[in-house]
Structure 1
């Protein structure tokens, strides 16, 4: 493994250790998942493991129909797939982290919430997370039009580590897509707003991009904003939920599909390499933020 790959992997592992965790089960397990709490002995005295035969080890374990009263069910840092309705009244649905579009590469099974309490970066409580490049109307997609109905339906799909570029060591198969694609409620450009994920300072403005450094040291990147709609300038202090620009298909001289590309980057001290800025998988963080906005727990839509 290269030195860069080692540092990138170490950074993600370190961040996962300190971030609030969103619980998500093994993708090969039952769906919807079931949270199981094992029974524990009532005594605090260490219990020696019992000796079992090979036949006993292979025997299926009967599930318990009750939870032990002395073991609390975790609630503050864990959740199952959110059961909420979006702003249109539609039931939401979310694929697991790292579940990419078929044929688009290998994702990362990451469940860390790197920005607990973050504001969802699309102003409306309806958005569709899926690949703009590997879906209908995309460069690598199956053909069709970017406004195809299947691009504006659930379930959500992760897009971090998709193929389509020079590669990045943080991704298991060298994929290079370092963010999450988010489509607004409809296939209508220059209409829906991207908003600040947190209080912070605008560190740079590009032809169609905004970069925001949060007070907590995270860098949020917004791409494909309509240049004429941008409401901020480099050096501006912004508040969580403040409008930054309208979501469009701006991409230099080659238009993309109408969507917001959103990234989260975190800085870590990495030995001799010093301070290293690493893109981290944003999918689980966005699921949490979207569920809070859609359920009304994160203030009013548009705030």
Structure 2
């Protein structure tokens, strides 16, 4: 297959997104496996290049057909939405709106087949909302833009992969939302994602909600038996090797040593905590269930270090690498 084109959104322009975007878009290992097309603001990317001491040449283009991949050139579909004097590290409704517009363009390019994947730098949810776009994050936004009813968030590291049944909602709301059908569909999405990634027979461990998996009803209100076990059984009837519900602390230990290829977490922090302990520089966020491939960094906008040449681009590089790998297998 020819080298895939990947739309790279630069995220919130006041955060570290422009810096990690520039650094990753000229990485030789990345350019060997994909053709990045940055969606963002050329002026801001040039400022980021100056900040990190990069000799990248930022080149605005109007269409993907104008992209040229040579030397240190970065091809940018320049939406020109940010003021030149936008402050680094300060919440801005203008930057929040711009981050949405970058995603919108990337989704259009992916849905029309002009790019084979999307890779996103971080946006700031408060800025996004201040800019008039009331989404919990990228995952839900892309679901709406692609007309997808239900998607899942998967975190991928070299040592551990986690898919979430619920994500950006409060803990009490998450427990209320969990039901057997959602558990089964999440397991299935994770299974299919791992198969596409080259895992022939994924071994999947499913977390419980309560400590010690409820200890036979001692903890909680029998959520494991009512909400999770039927979903696992339905997945097993489909031929999926799914085990659980298991106590989360035990399951993450077992998965970390290689007993499972994927952990199904019930709520946001249950899955995110162990992954981030392993190091967010290696983590990649993958949206599973979309009609397009989408990967992202596993960190936020880091306003406290934005514009200071401190940001670590390794998660962005890995997100681009995984997007390229999935696009090639797709």
TM-score by length of structure 2 reads: 0.27
Which of the two has greater helix per residue?
2
Between 1 and 2, higher relative CO (CA 8 Å, sep ≥ 6) is seen in 2
TM-score by length of structure 1 reads: 0.29
